[in-house]
Amino acid sequence: MNPRLPAEWEIQDGVLMAWPHEGTDWAYMLEDVRPVFVDIIRHITRFERVLLTAPHAASAAEYLDKAGIDLNRVTIAEIPNNDTWARDFGPITVIYNNKPTLMDFGFNGWGLKFPAYYDNLISKRLKQQGLLQPNLNTIGLIMEGGSIESDGLGTILTTADCLLSPNRNPQLDKSEIEQALASLVGAKRVLWLNYGGLAGDDTDSHIDTLARICPDNTIVYQACENPLDEHFEPLKLMEGELKSFFAPDGSSYRLVPLPFPMARFDEQAHRLPATYANFLIINGAVLVPTYRDDENDSTALACIAKVFPGREIIGIDCLPLLEQHGSLHCVTMQLPQGVLA
């Protein structure tokens, strides 16, 4: 039987996260960013568990406890981490013979851009500590969770910029990447985006910043309607590609555009990669990043509410996360049913 990569909206045991500490790139702004992590944890634990890695479990627990987090809903694993982007170093769960199996792909800091010597070992160490139930298969392929989207039925949506990056798997061409996705995560077909991308993005155009597969043959995507914005042309070209795709049943996808957030810049005037597509689907809710941009924030929440009518839509202020070029989905990795020990 072929493996199957579940859709994010399927039932979950919990969500993996990593704590921002003095040894991460957040060191200079911990007071700003830790409340964002607390807010995400607070809302996830209303619906499911959080598995949190931290180099000093006791200090992380103390901080969360003071913030009013129910520690009965959080498991803190004392494991060192380089950074906090759990989406990309966390295990990717596939269903094989009706049981979950964990795929531990290689993580090399988004194509050798940043240190990842601790993060690449986190899945293995979680398994060694008895916190993950299924078998863990270590795979000799570099791939991040943020680089692929699944409908749970064999469709994988991805970007050529990321999966064909020469600093990830230079030994493999496009057809060989497709073969690897077929054998490892059960891809029956791969939909490639050749356009798109956000200024300030370090990931080589992760799909979870651009377009997301949702229930009922729907794709929610980051649009840009301002012809004067640098994103206008690449996102229009991406929109055209999305319109050319067909769902597994042969119908066109229902496409739902998201508003483009107000431009944000760091202290060196470099643009930051704000996107509403970086939302997290959990049991009973969708957590949506917001950026203190009232009009666009509220429009984005309303768009996503239409796509997930049975779930609570929760906006979380993620403006501080942009300072390290990521957002809400990037700091989380869902753990499907049967994964947590």
| Enzyme catalytic residues | 330
Dist CA 233 CA 204 (whole Å): 17
Type and span of the H or E element at 309: none
Dist CA 337 CA 48 (whole Å): 11
For every residue of 64-132, DSSP letters joined together read HHHTT--GGGEEEEE---S---HHHHSPEEEEETTEEEEEEEE--HHHHTS--TTGGGHHHHHHHTT-B
| Tokens encoding 243 | 């319109």
| Tokens encoding 53 | 């890695």
| Tokens encoding 272 | 């930051």
Longest dimension (CA), the chain: 53
